Amino acid sequence: MITIRGKCPGAPALALLAVAALLAPASALGHSDAPAGCTQVQEAEQWPNPDIMVRAGGFIPYLKGQAVCCEAREMTLNETLSYLKKLPKSAWPCGRILWVGESGLISGVRDVPLMDANFDRLMKALKKMGLKTVLIPSA
């Protein structure tokens, strides 16, 4: 896991370095032919692999910058993990790496411990699944 947390004006550049570092052993991930575009992402919408936004009420998985469920209803942890397990190999062109970020919008300070708990549960589950993560700061 590579962590880039907190508000950071250089976050996109740091995220690129993090992805490049994770791709270095790409042959071990079975993706030695990962496209060069995996390390040249400038915006979240350009990231070809799945990413997940952690919110107080659950999780919103994204694929190629598009939410896979309605943003008005977050997925549970089990729904999110099930979704990731069902993705075909073609959904992972950069290897089994996904971006994880926390929602920058919260409805109050009571959301912070809920988001922290969801984040911790998600990270433990992703590690068990053998997924590598790059943590992206909120906007």
pLDDT digits (tens, 9 = 90+) for 24-54: 444 444 444 556 667 777 776 778 899 999 9
Distance CA 44, CA 101 (A): 11
> Is the CA virtual torsion 9, 112, 69, 50 positive or negative?
positive
> Residue 58 pLDDT more than 90?
yes
User: Does residue 38 contact residue 83 with C-beta atoms inside 8 Å?
Assistant: no
- Tokens representing 30? 């079975």
How distant, in Å, are the alpha carbons of 13, 52, 59, 86, 103 from that of 55?
24, 10, 6, 22, 6
> Residue 13 pLDDT more than 60?
no
Q: Mean pLDDT in the chain?
A: 76
Q: pLDDT value at position 70?
A: 66
Q: pLDDT value at position 32?
A: 45
